[in-house]
Amino acid sequence: MKIDVEKLGVRYGSHTAVDGVNLSAAPGEILGVLGPNGSGKSSLVKAIAGILPHSGKVRFDGAVAPNPSVIGYMPLDHQTRAALTVLETVLLGRLGRLGLRVSKADLAAAEEVLRDIGILSLAMRDLGTLSGGQRQLVFLAQALAGSPRVLLLDEPFSALDIRHQLEVAELLARLTRERKLTTIVVLHDIPMAGRLADRLALLEGGRLMALGNRADVLASSAMRSVFQVEFVTDRAKDDRVEIRDMRLLAKT
């Protein structure tokens, strides 16, 4: 499902969080959103998900208001006090389809995604007994459980250990490719952006500073000026971009 974002703006009172952003993302592609703290990354993704009032247009295959079930959205906050099992939490990802009785198809879909993410053994555990990283995996499973065509993930790796970061990155790349998902991921981890994203959008102060192929964006002068960091990149054989070194630029 192709996403077209036109002149997107988000305001909180007098503060402009996102300012006239234009971008698009295609099926089968992972678009990474980079930027320093407070640059409007989360607001951008929330506006695309349709849960934040905004100006401008977001089109899904040309339509302004898609069926909510085509979007799998995972916010950054993983705190919850709900007395729900992991299975119930994942089932809620299929909210629009759940009847009063949970069907075999719902259970099968939840099971498939729990297995994909490697947390099937946690299925009957209480959400409150899990670690932050485990909860993050559960909410990723929830975002995937509704078989969405668009995935909007806000820092999906923030609480994960390195093994799970790599496993989840691999899973996202595979699902995006196989199911022709349109995946937009907010990332703080620049090396991960170089491995995972096909294209990158760079934000600063709510404005789009760079948009394009990951290698071009990571090597761009915009990256240097936005983060005030020098990135030394290598292009690996499989077209991934490795960050060889990072140095703080001298303050001028």
Binding site for another protein (CB under 8 A): 46, 49-51, 67-69, 71, 73-75, 77, 79-85, 87-89, 92-93, 95-96, 98, 100, 102, 104, 107-108, 110-111, 114-115, 120, 123-124, 126-129, 139, 142-143, 146, 152
Nearer to another protein, 14 or 79 (CB): 79
Nearer to another protein, 110 or 181 (CB): 110
Nearer to another protein, 98 or 229 (CB): 98
- Taking the complex as a whole, how short is the minimal distance between the CB of residue 49 and another protein, in angstroms? 5
- Take residue 212 and report the two structure tokens written for it: 């394009």
Question: In 3-state terms, the chain is what percent helix, strand and coil (to 5)?
Answer: 35, 30, 30
Count CA atoms closer than 13 A to 200's CA, side-chain side: 29
Q: DSSP class of residue 187?
A: -
Nearer to another protein, 47 or 208 (CB): 47
Nearer to another protein, 55 or 129 (CB): 129
- Taking the complex as a whole, how short is the minimal distance between the CB of residue 105 and another protein, in angstroms? 12
Q: Which of 59, 29, 1 minimizes the C-alpha distance to 175?
A: 29
Residue whose tokens read 């993302």: 25
How far does CA 175 lie from the centroid of its chain?
13
Listed in sequence order, the DSSP H helices in the chain are 41-49, 86-91, 104-117, 132-145, 162-178, 190-196, 214-218, 221-227
d(CA 16, CA 55): 11
Q: Which residues contact 85 (CB under 8 A, 6 or more apart)?
A: 123, 124, 125, 126, 127
- Taking the complex as a whole, how short is the minimal distance between the CB of residue 148 and another protein, in angstroms? 10
- Taking the complex as a whole, how short is the minimal distance between the CB of residue 159 and another protein, in angstroms? 15
- Taking the complex as a whole, how short is the minimal distance between the CB of residue 44 and another protein, in angstroms? 14
In 3-state terms, what secondary structure has residue 139? helix
- Taking the complex as a whole, how short is the minimal distance between the CB of residue 33 and another protein, in angstroms? 16
Nearer to another protein, 83 or 162 (CB): 83
d(CA 124, CA 126): 7
- Taking the complex as a whole, how short is the minimal distance between the CB of residue 75 and another protein, in angstroms? 4
Nearer to another protein, 109 or 209 (CB): 109
